[in-house]
RNA sequence: GCCCCGUUCGUCUAGUUGGCCUAGGACGCAAGAUUUUCAUUCUUGAAAUCAGGGGUUCGAAUCCCCUACGGGGUACCA
């Protein structure tokens, strides 16, 4: 009974897509591709009050950036559309009614305010109110009211919701692909609203109807859905769709790096790492939340990071391309416990991926940054500069700090190094080195290196005495790649100018 | 409160049918090497009495029970 794998990612457009959601999507995608199946994008916008403009576009752009492609769904099309639940609004009503007819659901006329009051009363007695088999008889619904009363209420267009009627004393068994068997007793479950008074279904109804109609084979979603899974299983039963019910897999949650709890929007900016793939500006508050893309993360690295947060290959390999992930991904190797996001390891991953890029690729991304700094240089020069310093950075955004001296003369000199190294006689030595450098015809890292070394040895000096001050003159700080490489790149004249400038500026430092 | 899920180095995790685990790897951390500096890189090291306690067994991180802790759910939100 081989069924074609069809999985869906079903976000609600209530804001930017959380990185945990991206991971859920990634696992769905990997699973689908691994099994030659379809990966579908469906928008779950049954709560009209929470709709945020731009969120749908944001979701699609995010996956474009990550290189995760949907086979079907919003923006792509397919045979099972429409793929936005608000566009499928009319069809849910029939299904809710079907449940009404078959006795699996009932009308409830209690207003939110009334229920709120009851809840508060229960709270006073330290009890928890639940709309369930124990309380529904004393509430305002088609089970407790006479048929005439119900008809009258309906005729008067009294607002109502449709609730699921959980049978009593039933044990519901869930086969979770990650957690194994999970059992729950129906007496403890509440009669969830399936159809709201505004004419929209709730997630619970829409989700089951759509998954069934779209022929979804596996539901891979966050662990927060596990408690309502029994309801979903019962709905399949109520509709008589058990034979094609999808299999369930509930993913562990992504936790905040410090302390406890689910990773939330605020943690990112508090701890200095993005929780969203792309930068997001809140349309109302105008608050900006940082994104992986804008922070300099490479999409392939983000995928790799996410893939290993809650899943592992069982080998010691940690760097995987998307295709490699597809090849070896399996739900069985997903762990059960929540994973904390590790910023340091994320940086390391990005470093690995950055090193894999060609100098030309990195240069392309670096150019706009240089432009902002007001630096005007040709592509070839930047490419060489990138080659010199790329292994020292994890992000393109860190490049400037490691290479500014390849574009600008030092404006100041590190005081600590001056104090430690700029001894008496240094200006004289450097002046002599300027002459030596000047005399080099074919100025390149090797020739500069050879001549300066010869000078040092010839005068029975040691490296530290000369090289540190030379570096200070050229770079302004005690950092950077091989000094002769730097000098060769900036050129003989520039190097000499810088040394003379340093001599003039620092002078005799006694 | 009630229900559900979880618990191996600081972090991500290996450990899938109990014995090869004196618990392995990666990030981070420390030390050393290299170097003209800072980083990178390389080497080495510290780091989990497998949450705790009971069982079962010749033998348990691996099976069972209890407790603790953490997380999730408990909406006309998804």
- For every residue of A240-258, which 3-state class applies, written as one string? CCHHHCCEEEEECCEECCC
Q: Whole-angstrom Cα distance, residue A399 to residue A383?
A: 12
HSE-up (13 A, CA, CB side) for residue A411: 3
Taking the CA of residue A61 and the C1' sugar atom of nucleotide B26, their distance in angstroms comes to 31
Identify whether the C-beta of residue A387 lies closer than 8 Å to the C-beta of residue A362.
no
Neighbouring residues of A340: CB distance < 8 A, sequence distance ≥ 6: A254, A255, A256, A257
Identify whether the C-beta of residue A217 lies closer than 8 Å to the C-beta of residue A4.
yes
Taking the CA of residue A31 and the C1' sugar atom of nucleotide B60, their distance in angstroms comes to 34
The answer to whether some atom of strand B lies closer than 7 Å to the beta carbon of A332 is: yes
Instruction: Evaluate whether the domain defined by A87-251 bears CATH number 3.90.800.10.
Output: yes
Q: Whole-angstrom Cα distance, residue A41 to residue A22?
A: 12
Taking the CA of residue A72 and the C1' sugar atom of nucleotide B77, their distance in angstroms comes to 26
pLDDT score recorded for residue A364: 96
Cα→Cα distances A383→A298, A358, A364, A389, A482, Å: 19, 9, 9, 10, 17
Q: Which of residues 223-242 of A touch strand B (CB under 7 A)?
A: 223-228
Catalytic residue among A93, A237, A265, A340: A265
Identify whether the C-beta of residue A291 lies closer than 8 Å to the C-beta of residue A17.
no
pLDDT score recorded for residue A510: 46
DSSP-derived secondary structure for A317-385: -----HHHHHHH--GGGB-SS-EE--HHHHHHHHHHHHHHS-HHHHHHHHHHHHHHTT----HHHHHHH
Identify whether the C-beta of residue A439 lies closer than 8 Å to the C-beta of residue A476.
no
Q: Whole-angstrom Cα distance, residue A493 to residue A250?
A: 65
- The fold adopted by the segment(s) A409-506 is Arc Repressor Mutant, subunit A (1.10.10)
pTM of the model: 0.94
The answer to whether some atom of strand B lies closer than 7 Å to the beta carbon of A394 is: no
Cα→Cα distances A173→A99, A131, A170, A203, Å: 21, 22, 10, 21
pLDDT score recorded for residue A259: 66
Taking the CA of residue A128 and the C1' sugar atom of nucleotide B69, their distance in angstroms comes to 24
Identify the H or E element spanning A227.
Answer: none
Taking the CA of residue A351 and the C1' sugar atom of nucleotide B39, their distance in angstroms comes to 13
Q: Which of residues 347-376 of A touch strand B (CB under 7 A)?
A: 347-348, 351
The answer to whether some atom of strand B lies closer than 7 Å to the beta carbon of A277 is: no
Identify the H or E element spanning A65.
Answer: helix A55-66
For A273, which DSSP code? S
The answer to whether some atom of strand B lies closer than 7 Å to the beta carbon of A46 is: yes
| Residue appearing with tokens 């699996």 | A104
pLDDT score recorded for residue A508: 66
Give strand letter and number of the nucleotide nearest A255 (CA to C1').
B71
Query: Is the ipTM reported for this complex over the cut 0.85?
Result: yes
Neighbouring residues of A462: CB distance < 8 A, sequence distance ≥ 6: A456
Helix (H, G, I), strand (E, B) or coil at A163: strand
The answer to whether some atom of strand B lies closer than 7 Å to the beta carbon of A463 is: yes
Partners of A174 in beta bridges: A182
User: Domain ranges in chain A?
Assistant: 87-251, 358-397, 409-506
Taking the CA of residue A131 and the C1' sugar atom of nucleotide B45, their distance in angstroms comes to 60
Helix (H, G, I), strand (E, B) or coil at A190: coil
Taking the CA of residue A410 and the C1' sugar atom of nucleotide B50, their distance in angstroms comes to 55
Give strand letter and number of the nucleotide nearest A201 (CA to C1').
B76
- What does the pLDDT profile of chain A (510 residues) look like in tens digits? 579 999 999 999 999 999 999 999 999 999 999 999 999 999 999 999 999 999 999 999 999 999 999 999 999 999 998 999 999 999 999 999 999 999 999 999 999 999 999 999 888 888 889 999 999 999 999 999 999 999 999 999 999 999 999 999 999 999 999 999 999 999 999 999 999 999 999 999 999 999 999 999 999 999 999 999 999 999 999 999 999 999 999 999 999 887 677 888 888 878 888 999 999 999 999 999 999 999 999 999 999 999 999 999 999 999 999 999 999 999 999 999 999 999 999 999 999 999 999 999 999 999 999 999 999 999 999 999 999 999 999 999 999 999 999 999 999 999 989 988 888 888 999 999 999 999 999 999 999 999 999 999 888 888 888 899 999 999 999 999 999 999 999 999 999 999 999 999 887 654
Identify whether the C-beta of residue A144 lies closer than 8 Å to the C-beta of residue A136.
yes
On chain B, which bases lie within 7 A of the protein's CB atoms? 1-8, 10-16, 24-28, 35-41, 70-78
Neighbouring residues of A204: CB distance < 8 A, sequence distance ≥ 6: A164, A192, A193, A194, A228, A231, A232, A235
Identify whether the C-beta of residue A335 lies closer than 8 Å to the C-beta of residue A252.
yes
Give strand letter and number of the nucleotide nearest A112 (CA to C1').
B76
CATH number of A358-397: 1.10.8
Identify the H or E element spanning A207.
Answer: helix A203-213
Give strand letter and number of the nucleotide nearest A178 (CA to C1').
B5
DSSP-derived secondary structure for A439-501: T-SS--HHHHHHHHHHHHHHTT--HHHHHHHHHHHHHSSS--S-HHHHHHHH-HHHHHHHHHH
- For every residue of A94-117, which 3-state class applies, written as one string? HHHHHHHHHCCEEEECCCHHHHHH
Give strand letter and number of the nucleotide nearest A179 (CA to C1').
B5
The answer to whether some atom of strand B lies closer than 7 Å to the beta carbon of A308 is: yes
Give strand letter and number of the nucleotide nearest A332 (CA to C1').
B16
Active site residue A265: yes
């Amino acid at each position: 009974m081989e069924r074609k794998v069809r999985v869906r990612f079903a976000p609600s457009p209530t804001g930017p897509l959380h990185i945990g959601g991206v991971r859920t999507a990634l696992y769905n995608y990997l699973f689908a591709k691994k099994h030659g199946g379809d990966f579908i994008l469906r928008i779950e916008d049954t709560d009209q009050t929470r709709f945020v403009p731009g969120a749908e576009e944001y979701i699609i752009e995010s996956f474009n950036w990550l290189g995760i492609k949907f086979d079907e769904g919003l923006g792509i099309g397919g045979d099972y559309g429409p793929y936005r639940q608000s566009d499928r609004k009319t069809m849910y009503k029939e299904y809710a009614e079907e449940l009404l007819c078959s006795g699996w659901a009932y009308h409830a006329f209690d207003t939110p305010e009334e229920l709120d009051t009851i809840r508060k009363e229960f709270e006073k007695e330290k009890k928890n109110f639940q709309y369930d088999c124990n309380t529904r008889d004393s509430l305002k619904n088609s089970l407790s009211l006479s048929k005439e009363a119900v008809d009258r209420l309906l005729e008067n267009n009294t607002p109502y919701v449709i609730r699921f009627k959980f049978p009593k004393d039933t044990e519901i068994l869930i086969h979770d692909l990650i957690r194994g068997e999970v059992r729950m007793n129906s007496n403890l479950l509440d009669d969830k609203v399936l159809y709201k008074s505004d004419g929209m279904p709730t997630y619970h109804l829409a989700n089951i109807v759509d998954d069934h109609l779209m022929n979804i084979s596996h539901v891979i979603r966050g662990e927060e859905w596990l408690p309502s899974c029994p309801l979903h299983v019962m709905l399949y039963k109520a509709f008589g769709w058990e034979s094609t019910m999808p299999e369930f897999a509930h993913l562990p949650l992504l936790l905040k790096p410090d302390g406890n709890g689910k990773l939330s929007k605020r943690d990112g900016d508090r701890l200095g790492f993005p929780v969203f793939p792309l930068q997001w500006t809140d349309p109302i508050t105008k608050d900006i939340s940082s994104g992986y893309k804008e922070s300099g993360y490479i999409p392939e690295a983000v995928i790799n990071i996410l893939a290993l947060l809650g899943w592992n290959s069982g080998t010691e390999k940690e760097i995987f391309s998307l295709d490699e992930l597809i090849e070896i991904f399996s739900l069985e190797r997903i762990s059960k416990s929540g994973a904390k996001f590790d910023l340091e390891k994320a940086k390391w991953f990005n470093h690995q991926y950055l090193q894999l890029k060609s100098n030309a690729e990195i240069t392309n991304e670096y150019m706009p940054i240089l432009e902002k700094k007001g630096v005007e240089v040709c592509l070839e020069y930047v490419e060489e500069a990138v080659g010199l310093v790329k292994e020292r950075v994890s992000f393109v955004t860190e490049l400037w700090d490691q290479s500014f001296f390849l574009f600008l003369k030092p404006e100041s000199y590190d005081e600590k190094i001056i104090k430690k190294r700029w001894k008496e006689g240094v200006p004289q030595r450097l002046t002599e080195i300027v002459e030596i450098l000047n005399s080099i015809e074919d100025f390149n890292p090797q020739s500069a290196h050879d001549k300066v070394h010869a000078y040092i040895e010839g005068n029975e000096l040691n490296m530290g005495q000369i090289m540190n001050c030379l570096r200070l003159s050229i770079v302004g700080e005690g950092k950077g790649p091989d000094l002769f490489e730097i000098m060769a790149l900036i050129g003989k004249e520039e190097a000499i100018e810088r040394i003379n400038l340093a001599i003039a500026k620092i002078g005799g430092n006694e």
